């Protein structure tokens, strides 16, 4: 039974019609916004040939953050940031609401996953030398993200409003107070007064769900922009450049990025520089 190669098969009229109907809204959107092209450019960019699972740590971290954002929004439906009802509302979420235990558990354990993945991702970047020129700025943005992630942990820890939360925050805030010069002022600002009270809880809640996540999202966008602009670094042991831009190929046999210290070439995309 001989079949024609698929490339030469003519599309049936019906199939063409279907494709037209399916693609029409996509075309409509792309013609007016360029969004579809942008998404294609983002998802189908060239990367070095031999990247592996360790290059997915960044995406994993992003996924963990998105999980935190989604579960956090759902928790905020039911959480009450008031000293009289915060603890009860957490108990209500955990014990009474359908699947509340699951969402709260995902948010609680996901927080640790997010921090741990950030460290793994940073370690991978560090060990592979992927922070080097021209990607130093992205390393700096990443460090800021790490700090903000830990601030999320610090502010989120108070919200259950139990004894652990209370005293851990007392200690954390007083650690800040020991910083020279402005430390005591920082501590009093964080407490929302001269001691932890109802202001502290609502302030931490606001920081935890509005200010810090907003800053994290903005920095993630910048982080991703730099990743797309500068491309992915090949593994340090790769003897040949990736299949990206051939013009900027490293010398054969050289270890990309390590062989030419001090050289300041133009930013390159998707190769081993």
Partner 1 sequence: MTSPDDKPHLPAPTLWPLGFAAGIACLLVGLVVSELVAIIGGALAVVFGFLWIRDVTRGITAEPAHVEPERRRGAATARARADVTPPAYEEEEEAAYPRSTFLAVTTLGLGAVIGGVITAPVLGFAVLPSFTNQPDQDVELGPLEDFPEGQFVIATYLEQPEVGEVSRRTVFVRNNGLLEDQPSFTVIFSRCVHLGCPVQPNGPIDEESRKTVGEHNVLLTQAQPVGFGCPCHGGQYDTEGNRTAGPPVRALDRAEFRIRDGRLWLGSFYSVGEVEGSGAQARIKKYGRAAPGVHVDGISSWLYPIEVP
Which positions lie near partner 1, rule CB under 8 A?
83-84, 166-167, 170-171, 173-175, 177-178, 180-181, 183-185, 187-189, 191-199
Cβ proximity to partner 1: between 101 and 189 the closer is: 189
Cβ proximity to partner 1: between 75 and 158 the closer is: 158
Compute the least distance from the CB of residue 160 to partner 1, in Å.
14
Compute the least distance from the CB of residue 187 to partner 1, in Å.
5
Residue 86: strand, helix, or coil: helix
Cβ proximity to partner 1: between 21 and 171 the closer is: 171
Give the contacts of 213 (CB within 8 A, at least 6 positions apart): 69, 72, 152
Compute the least distance from the CB of residue 182 to partner 1, in Å.
8
CB 272 within 8 Å of CB 233: yes
b/e map 19-41, b = 16+ CB within 10 Å = eeeeeeeeeeebeeeeeeeeeee
CA gap 266, 273 in Å, rounded:
10
Which is nearest to 196 in space by CA: 166, 229, 227? Answer: 166
> Could you give phi then psi for residue 107, rounded to 5 degrees?
-70, -40
Cβ proximity to partner 1: between 3 and 178 the closer is: 178
Compute the least distance from the CB of residue 192 to partner 1, in Å.
5
Cβ proximity to partner 1: between 137 and 177 the closer is: 177
Compute the least distance from the CB of residue 154 to partner 1, in Å.
14
Reported as type and span, the H/E element at residue 151 is helix 136-158
Residue 251: strand, helix, or coil: coil
With 0-12 / 13-18 / 19 or more C-beta atoms within 10 angstroms meaning exposed / middle / buried, residue 153 is middle
Cβ proximity to partner 1: between 31 and 194 the closer is: 194
CA gap 170, 161 in Å, rounded:
12
Beta-strand ranges (E) seen in the chain are none
Cβ proximity to partner 1: between 33 and 199 the closer is: 199
Compute the least distance from the CB of residue 145 to partner 1, in Å.
23
Compute the least distance from the CB of residue 201 to partner 1, in Å.
8
């Amino acid at each position: 039974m001989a079949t024609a190669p698929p490339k030469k098969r003519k599309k049936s009229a019906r199939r063409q019609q279907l494709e037209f109907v399916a693609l029409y809204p996509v075309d409509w959107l792309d013609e007016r916004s360029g969004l579809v092209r942008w998404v294609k450019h983002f998802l189908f960019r060239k990367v070095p040939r031999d990247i592996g699972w360790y290059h997915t740590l960044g995406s994993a971290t992003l996924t963990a953050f998105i999980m935190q954002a989604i579960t956090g929004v759902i928790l905020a439906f039911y959480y009450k940031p008031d000293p009289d009802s915060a603890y009860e509302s957490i108990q209500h979420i955990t014990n009474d609401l359908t699947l509340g235990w699951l969402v709260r558990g995902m948010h609680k354990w996901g927080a640790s996953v997010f921090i741990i993945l950030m460290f793994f991702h940073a370690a991978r970047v560090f060990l592979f030398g992927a922070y080097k020129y021209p990607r130093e700025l992205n390393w700096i943005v990443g460090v800021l993200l790490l700090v903000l992630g830990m601030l999320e942990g610090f502010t989120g820890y108070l919200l259950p409003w139990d004894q652990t939360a209370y005293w851990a925050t007392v200690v954390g805030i007083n650690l800040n107070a020991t910083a020279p010069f402005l430390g005591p002022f920082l501590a009093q600002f964080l407490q929302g007064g001269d001691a932890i009270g109802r202001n502290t809880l609502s302030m931490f809640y606001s920081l935890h769900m509005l200010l810090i996540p907003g800053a994290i999202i903005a920095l993630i966008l910048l982080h991703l922009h730099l990743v797309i602009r500068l491309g992915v670094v090949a593994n340090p042991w790769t003897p040949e450049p990736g299949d990206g831009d051939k013009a900027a190929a490293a010398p054969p046999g050289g270890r990309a990025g390590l062989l030419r210290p001090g050289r300041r070439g133009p930013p390159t995309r998707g190769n081993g520089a």
